[in-house]
Structure 1
């Protein structure tokens, strides 16, 4: 094709198909050439090959109709007055017509109304100048059952004397591509938003830690430098407690920001039994304060490839949840077993339980089962635990019944694959 115009060779291939049905592949190549705007070198000029592109030979159009009906792209031919003289199945079905007969002999304005005035004028300009329109993106929403994006190419057709007799058009549905591009843009914007938020939380957390540490240290000194009376002791203890709570919130926010940023895991062979025992030791005072009875049913060693620091953080949050929402004098049962490729750890408590509606929400950030906030916590523990477990290609399941406690099942692969590794 020269300068975007249908070449004599391309016309000849269309004509040959009327004589040789085996030429299907060649006409498909012509359609692809038209769509891409490629050139097809013309053969030596022969008088008998100068048949008009729109010569009225019914067999030619019937064959072109039959072949084009198998193509998912919209293919159509218009005469010099911009009236459809051939349209394939994909086109008339997408545009909501019962068949090609409903479109033949009509212009876009006849079919779709005055909104297509610009289209008609552009086609008239194309046939007046001979300048093709290649790969023009159009959003069609007024006359399609479902809004679509099309990549549209239109080329003039010539007779044997070089006069323009009409045009051929191909509309390719690129809706999936455009939606993917839009999704990519939205994803990039979301990543940028998360990065900005993560940077802010990281910087704010750093700034908060120092004054909070100073407040805690001052409270400690006040408590031990002299003998405070009962009222003073209560106030000092309150300062310590509240400062510790705020510091914990800051640390949890910083942890969520770090996890959101996609920080890599430092995978090493670790003993999960040892990690769980260490977590239990860290939380012994909290458990003792509620007089909880904790039973461990763990193998002596449970080896898997994981980030020990992250798993300790995840199981710490799960154990805190089992302690926080338990009842005084209740119990916690921790059990672990292995399968050929996975291990499962269950943490069961005798607390207040969770309703089916709440189960879908407990892993949402800042969600609190205790809406009255009589129980300490900020609603970040379970989201942190789940994100860490999922980064290890595992998952958490919840089994619960109100007033009968809850069981959290953690399933982890023994040898996860495809995880971004490296020391942070």
Structure 2
């Protein structure tokens, strides 16, 4: 029969091309045009026009007779299965199927008049390889209602299946990673129900990942469930992340845990549901480690303190025994000579020597007692003190000694300095120690000068001498107890004067600075605030 050039209606072609609208009804509509309608005088469409339409379809389209053999197929079917059109015509539906029994069952159901929904099946390529498809099949009847043929649309879903598998693999990998993380990772919706949880989060409430979903902390008997619910609600209300550095959690077993928790408001994927994503790190081991470290440091400090105490005590015994031994030896000798001498003048000399050594021991004991009191932080009797008056009294006290040793003792007082608040007895003792130190290290013909001045917020006292000076290596040690630059102890002193002075001045909120050069003398400067701390 000859062909008449006839084009399909544009709206029908457009309908077939639209994704998701291609179905068996569309095919049937085209085929009805292809067959024509004698009653209404509509002529059948030419084969070329029908072929043009079907080749525009992106799915494989088959027409099968009632025995299941193909008598029509489009180009997509050729590409999908690897056969030529002629080869497809020689094949039955069972031969192209990767599941012949299932396909035969579908054919039977269609011929029985049953509507068969879209199915997922495996098809076989010409190469023998199987590939997944979605199949829609429909029995088409003629104008008398008798079965005419079967039309089938086949969509290759290999890429779709692969995409789904990649998604499943990614989800599985993500789940594996989340479960491997020791942190507790979970999310609760606005009603407090768990919607996400890793194994660590589930275990802490005595559950599993599958069982915890959809349940709340109330279901697991968490003591602070109401407080947790309120905190989550506040995070959702504010809409900003929140970090709780130390979040205490009592589990259903009553065990205490300490976490650092970050809460972030989120929208669950694919929904409009608000939830709070939580990541909690158990810091209980860290806190215990810190406590253990603190205890270790405390013990180490205690041991070091005890070691230093023993060292100081040993040095104290060594130094004091030397300081006591010398005067006691002199006293013993003087008493021995005193008892054996009948000369009154000699007896007086021996008694004077013994008395001087007794005074020396007394001064040592006074220094030791003063140091002990300062170490014990005994109360100071604070009152208004005029430093110039205090220093004038000390000048009078040392005047005879300076005259005897031929040392010039001068003072230069600033009469504008303010009165300070302090303990006059202790301040006098501190200044006395500094003056005594200057005189002991200054030779005959030298000088000691005391000056006072006003400075920012207080006053300064300067004790300057022209003595032997202090070696730079010795400067860091001059305030150490019992330390003496003269290790041979040829100069008088116990090595306690400067430590006593420093402690008293520090108790008044001040400090002592030193500037010294060997063979050029030293300058000790006391800095005191107007009002010393209590």
**TM superposition score category, shorter chain reference:** 0.5 to 0.7
Residue equivalent to 1:14: 186
Match of 2:388 among 231, 252, 273: 273
Instruction: Name the CA distance, whole Å, in 2 between partners of 1:46 and 1:291.
Output: 96
When the two structures are superposed, what TM-score results if normalisation uses the length of structure 2? 0.43
Residue equivalent to 2:404: 289
Residue equivalent to 2:493: 377
Instruction: Name the CA distance, whole Å, in 1 between partners of 2:282 and 2:373.
Output: 53
Match of 2:370 among 255, 261, 264: 255
Q: After alignment, is 293-302 or 398-407 more displaced?
A: 293-302
Instruction: Name the CA distance, whole Å, in 1 between partners of 2:281 and 2:385.
Output: 67
Match of 1:49 among 215, 218, 227: 215
The CA deviation at 1:350 is: 0.4
Quick check: 1:364–1:383 contact (8 Å CA) kept in 2?
A: yes
Distance 1:229 1:16, change over 3 A: same
Distance 1:380 1:48, change over 3 A: closer
Structure 2: segments with no counterpart, 5+ residues: 1-183, 206-210, 221-239, 261-279, 318-323
Distance 1:229 1:411, change over 3 A: same
The CA deviation at 1:15 is: 2.6
Please report the RMSD computed on the Cα atoms of aligned residues, expressed in angstroms: 4.7
Structure with the larger RCO, 1 or 2 (CA within 8 Å, 6+ apart)? 1
Structure 1: segments with no counterpart, 5+ residues: 1-11, 38-44, 54-66, 75-129, 136-150, 154-166, 202-207, 420-424
Distance 1:179 1:318, change over 3 A: farther
The CA deviation at 1:227 is: 7.0
Distance 1:16 1:237, change over 3 A: same
CA deviations on 1:226-283 (whole Å, 9 max, x unpaired) are: 97234x3432222112111111111110110000001111111110011111112222
Distance 1:390 1:187, change over 3 A: farther
The CA deviation at 1:188 is: 8.5
The CA deviation at 1:171 is: 3.1
Distance 1:305 1:249, change over 3 A: same
Quick check: 1:344–1:410 contact (8 Å CA) kept in 2?
A: yes
Residue equivalent to 1:335: 451
Secondary structure, aligned partner of 1:348: strand
Structure 1 residue 402 and structure 2 residue 515: aligned?
no
Q: After alignment, is 327-336 or 316-325 more displaced?
A: 327-336
Structure 1 residue 264 and structure 2 residue 379: aligned?
yes
CA deviations on 1:88-121 (whole Å, 9 max, x unpaired) are: xxxxxxxxxxxxxxxxxxxxxxxxxxxxxxxxxx
1:238-249 maps to which residues of 2 (within 5 A)? Answer: 238-249=353-364
Residue equivalent to 2:256: 134
Residue equivalent to 2:431: 315
Instruction: Name the CA distance, whole Å, in 1 between partners of 2:212 and 2:488.
Output: 91
Instruction: Name the CA distance, whole Å, in 2 between partners of 1:391 and 1:311.
Output: 10
Distance 1:269 1:176, change over 3 A: farther
When the two structures are superposed, what TM-score results if normalisation uses the length of structure 1? 0.53
The CA deviation at 1:178 is: 5.2
Instruction: Name the CA distance, whole Å, in 2 between partners of 1:301 and 1:375.
Output: 38
Question: How many aligned residue pairs are there?
Answer: 270
Instruction: Name the CA distance, whole Å, in 2 between partners of 1:366 and 1:46.
Output: 72
CA deviations on 1:150-181 (whole Å, 9 max, x unpaired) are: x799xxxxxxxxxxxxx995435335555556
Instruction: Name the CA distance, whole Å, in 2 between partners of 1:320 and 1:173.
Output: 56
Residue equivalent to 2:471: 355
Instruction: Name the CA distance, whole Å, in 2 between partners of 1:292 and 1:168.
Output: 75
Secondary structure, aligned partner of 2:478: coil
Q: Rg larger in 1 or in 2? A: 2
Residue equivalent to 1:173: 286
Instruction: Name the CA distance, whole Å, in 2 between partners of 1:258 and 1:50.
Output: 65
Secondary structure, aligned partner of 2:520: coil
The CA deviation at 1:72 is: 6.9
Structure 1 residue 325 and structure 2 residue 441: aligned?
yes
Quick check: 1:73–1:172 contact (8 Å CA) kept in 2?
A: no
The CA deviation at 1:334 is: 0.9
1:219-234 maps to which residues of 2 (within 5 A)? Answer: 228-230=344-346, 232-234=347-349
Distance 1:273 1:181, change over 3 A: farther
Instruction: Name the CA distance, whole Å, in 1 between partners of 2:529 and 2:296.
Output: 35
Distance 1:237 1:14, change over 3 A: same
Secondary structure, aligned partner of 1:254: helix
1:146-157 maps to which residues of 2 (within 5 A)? Answer: none
Instruction: Name the CA distance, whole Å, in 2 between partners of 1:292 and 1:311.
Output: 24
Distance 1:300 1:173, change over 3 A: same
Instruction: Name the CA distance, whole Å, in 1 between partners of 2:430 and 2:297.
Output: 32
Quick check: 1:271–1:301 contact (8 Å CA) kept in 2?
A: no
Distance 1:258 1:328, change over 3 A: same
The CA deviation at 1:48 is: 3.7
Instruction: Name the CA distance, whole Å, in 2 between partners of 1:351 and 1:331.
Output: 8
Secondary structure, aligned partner of 1:356: coil
Quick check: 2:399–2:409 contact (8 Å CA) kept in 1?
A: no
Instruction: Name the CA distance, whole Å, in 2 between partners of 1:173 and 1:263.
Output: 42
Residue equivalent to 1:139: none
Distance 1:307 1:171, change over 3 A: same
Quick check: 1:330–1:350 contact (8 Å CA) kept in 2?
A: yes
